[in-house]
Amino acid sequence: MELEPVLSDIFGRIEVRWENSKIEQKLLEKHRLGHSYTLHMKDTIALEHASSFLGIPFQADLSLIESAKLALSSRKSSHNWENITKEYGTNVTRSLLTSLVAESIRKGKNASIIAPVTREIVLDGVSPVDASILIRIRGMRGY
């Protein structure tokens, strides 16, 4: 916001702290053309919101993806899926599930258990917090 009066005088990449407020969104839309920006977010949730606003794919960091895999595949994991869902929220965990399915399919792995669960969460409105339970149920049924 404080940069707006001098934006026309700035050349090159502009680095700003991004909170994803309505004012910031309006300013970015107004001054998007002709400038290149690096937006610094405080956390993964803010990154997901900014990705959504900007219309670019959300990409979680590798450690979060690995924690999600571990939480979904092990009941005894210290990375409990419910805790991940509480910490990162439903949008981020939906994105994590979609990323895990896409990764499995790209690598030619069997996604027959996680893919239908992810479909139910993304398309049918099932809560992402239930993903680990639904995966276990599908596994017990031998899908």
> Tens digits of per-residue pLDDT, 96-108?
999 999 988 998 8
Percentage of residues in the chain having pLDDT higher than 90: 14
Residues whose CB falls within 8 Å of the CB of residue 100, separated by 6 or more in sequence, listed in order: 65, 68, 69, 72, 114, 118
pLDDT higher than 60, residue 133:
yes
Domain identity same for 83 and 123: yes
Residue that terminates a domain, selected from 15, 34, 54: 54
pLDDT value of position 9: 65
pTM above 0.85, yes or no: no
69, 110: one domain: yes
For residue 70, the enclosing domain spans 62-141
pLDDT at 37 over 70: yes
Please, what is the Cα angle at 121 between 123 and 93, to 5 degrees? 125
**What is the full DSSP assignment across 68-102?**
HHHHHH-TT-SS-HHHHHHHHHHHHHHHHHHHHHH
CB–CB of 21/49 below 8 Å? Answer: no
Checking if the pLDDT of 78 tops 60, the result is: no
What pLDDT is attached to residue 128?
A: 92
Name the nearest CA neighbour of 72 among 132, 121, 127. 132
Give me the pLDDT at residue 8, please: 64
Same domain, yes or no: 50 and 85: no
Strands (DSSP E) found in the chain = 13-17, 36-40
